[in-house]
Structure 1
């Protein structure tokens, strides 16, 4: 692809990734609760799912989801149910005192594997992502040129930008730790995060594959 095409893709993805959604909200909320270092497993889960979604889209799964109303609906409602469940769990969570250091945290706050799994499931919960990549990538590809190198360039660019924004959200959350470290503010933070996850789940249940 030409340099101009790649730069256009870069700008497009920069603003798409910056838009707050379930992935960025999770990075922010875990950054607040665990600090940046302990949120890295969460980001690893989000990015692992992202890689699988891009690979599945390249393999044609996105086109299958776009063509099958039943399959799309099954994935959609399963993802929506998970986000709503996560939102209820977060809303009802008792305020836990945050550590004083930027990356401190207790074992009671969950293992690295639990945070990785949460990140993975949140990122995988939206079937629209498969359709998004299937629709987005071809717009910036030259059909007359080899497809493999172009897909790798686009996927690599998206991966770097997405991971940078996730890290920025986690770091921003970490900076709020000292201000939020009171039972009342933590309770409101849990309700805000939980409500946002539930709203995302409800919104996801209403989307169309078109």
Structure 2
């Protein structure tokens, strides 16, 4: 029963529109579902780190990160704003080698997803509030820890696919060059917005 409660609470929290979901949606709108996978991978890794930190002790994680916590946040925000501005500027223009961009920047995208997640104060508050009340953190065994990890991975993959399919549908509905330009600008605007949210939260 405790795992069902955790699954429902985590799914409700993770699916709500926020910086992470906006970034995933923006990526899917501009390059399709596949282009959002590296970012999604980083977000999932970040959520697993937060779960592990909650089991070990969140205060220990914050003490280890120290100033790097703030640096990660601002670096991620600056990158998103730069990427969004670039996308807005080049909306509607055919870019040579555009199909290679997701693969070439996969490491950066994973790092961005990771930074966005572990610097999210709402994620920290979520785990601090939920875990002690639902899961006996002190009595977590390897098997129960792996079940929690599987729940997080499964829920996040379902969310990524759901938002990705919505974005794919939007891309198919707006096939004209003018509509594609508008979609790319919307995607760029979302990235800038996510960067600002990340920097100011």
- Structure 2 residue aligned with 1:113, among 103, 113, 125? 103
Compute the displacement of 1:150 (Å).
Answer: 2.7
Q: Which runs of 4+ in 1 moved over 6 A?
A: none
CA distance in 2, matches of 1:57, 1:89: 34
Q: Deviations over 1:49-72 (max 9, x none)?
A: 522552365155853454576333
Contact 2:77-2:194 at 8 Å conserved across structures: yes
Structure 1 unpaired stretches of 5+: 98-105
- Structure 2 residue aligned with 1:74, among 71, 74, 83? 71
Judge which range, 16-25 or 149-158, deviates more: 16-25
Show the counterpart of 1:189.
Answer: 183
- Structure 2 residue aligned with 1:170, among 135, 144, 164? 164
Compute the displacement of 1:123 (Å).
Answer: 0.9
Compute the displacement of 1:174 (Å).
Answer: 1.2
Q: How many residues align?
A: 193
Show the counterpart of 2:82.
Answer: 85
- Structure 2 residue aligned with 1:131, among 99, 124, 128? 124
Judge which range, 107-116 or 171-180, deviates more: 107-116
Q: Deviations over 1:79-130 (max 9, x none)?
A: 2112211211221223157xxxxxxxx9532255236335413312321277
CA distance in 2, matches of 1:17, 1:172: 17
CA distance in 2, matches of 1:85, 1:189: 18
Show the counterpart of 1:46.
Answer: 40
Show the counterpart of 1:25.
Answer: 22
Judge which range, 198-207 or 134-143, deviates more: 134-143
CA distance in 1, matches of 2:125, 2:36: 23
CA 1:83/1:132 → structure 2, altered by over 3 Å: closer, same or farther? farther
CA 1:45/1:76 → structure 2, altered by over 3 Å: closer, same or farther? closer
CA distance in 2, matches of 1:46, 1:26: 9
Structure 2 unpaired stretches of 5+: none
CA 1:32/1:157 → structure 2, altered by over 3 Å: closer, same or farther? same
SS of equivalent to 1:25: helix
TM, length-normalised to structure 1: 0.74
- Structure 2 residue aligned with 1:151, among 136, 145, 154? 145
Show the counterpart of 1:142.
Answer: 136
